[in-house]
Amino acid sequence: MTTTSPRRSDARRNREAILASALTLFARDPNASMSAIAAAAGVGRVTLYGHFAGRDELVEAALAAAVEQSDRLLAEVDLSGDPLDALVRLIRSSWRQVEANSAALDAALAALGTDHMRASHDGVLARVQEIIERGQGSGTFRADLSADWLTAVVYSTLHTACAEVTSGRLAADEAESAIIATVTSALVA
C-alpha cells in the first residue's frame, strides 16, 4: 500500500523549486514568463499551474517568500542599544535584502500594486517602527512627526535607492551610505 506522503513531499519540492526559479528569473527579468519559470524549475506548465492559477498568484507567492526570507534574516540583527545605531544596523541588513530582490520586487509592484506591496512588508517594518518609537521616546529621533510617517520614509528611501541603482542613476556601492545619510537626516532630532 502506498502513502500520500511522497506526493506531498514532491509537491512541496515542486512548489519550492517554482518559487526559487521565479525569484531567480525575476532578478534578471521582472516580466519572465510562466513557461520560462516552469522550465527553470524543471516542471511542466501543468504542474506550475497546479500550484499557481496565474502569473499574479505566482508573483504574490514569490514576494511572500522573499519577504519571509528577509524577515528571518532581519530577525538575527541586534536591535538593542542606541536607537540610531540599531536603525543603521537594520538598514544595512535590509538594504542587502532589498537589493538582492529588487527585480522580484519590481515584478510584484507591477502585478500587485503599491498598497499590496507595502502591506506585504508590514512584519518587517514593525522592526523599523519599534526602533523609531524607542528613539522618539529617548529623544534621539524627532517626535514632531509620527512613527508611522518616519517608518514610511525609511521604507520609501530603501525602495527608491533600489530603483535608482537599477536605473543607473546611483552606484550600487554608494547606495547604502546614501540611504543611511538620507534616513538619519530625516529622523534625527
Whether 19 and 74 share a structural domain? no
Which whole number is the average pLDDT over 108-113?
A: 76
Whether 151 and 113 share a structural domain? yes
28 inside domain:
yes
Whether 76 and 33 share a structural domain? no
Whether 27 and 116 share a structural domain? no
59 inside domain:
no
173 inside domain:
yes
The total number of structural domains in the chain stands at 2
Whether 46 and 72 share a structural domain? no
Q: How confident is the model at residue 90 (pLDDT cuts 50, 70, 90)?
A: very high
Residues 137-151 have pLDDT tens digits of: 999 999 999 999 999
Whether 181 and 114 share a structural domain? yes
181 inside domain:
yes
Whether 178 and 96 share a structural domain? yes
Measured distance CA(157)–CA(86) in Å, rounded: 17
Q: How confident is the model at residue 36 (pLDDT cuts 50, 70, 90)?
A: very high
Residue 40 contacts residue 21 (beta carbons within 8 Å): yes
Whether 71 and 102 share a structural domain? yes
Measured distance CA(23)–CA(103) in Å, rounded: 8
Q: What is the pLDDT of residue 33?
A: 92
Domain with residue 14: its CATH number is 1.10.10
Q: How confident is the model at residue 85 (pLDDT cuts 50, 70, 90)?
A: very high
Residues 156-182 have pLDDT tens digits of: 999 899 889 888 999 989 999 999 999
Measured distance CA(98)–CA(92) in Å, rounded: 10
129 inside domain:
yes
Measured distance CA(112)–CA(60) in Å, rounded: 7
As a whole-number percent, the residues of the chain with pLDDT over 70 amount to: 96
Q: What is the pLDDT of residue 1?
A: 47
Whether 141 and 85 share a structural domain? yes
Whether 163 and 110 share a structural domain? yes
Residue-range definition of the domain harbouring residue 181:
64-187
Whether 6 and 70 share a structural domain? no
Q: Is 139 left (phi over 0), alpha (psi -120 to 50) or beta?
A: left
58 inside domain:
no
Measured distance CA(136)–CA(32) in Å, rounded: 43
Whether 79 and 136 share a structural domain? yes
Domain with residue 133: its CATH number is 1.10.357.10
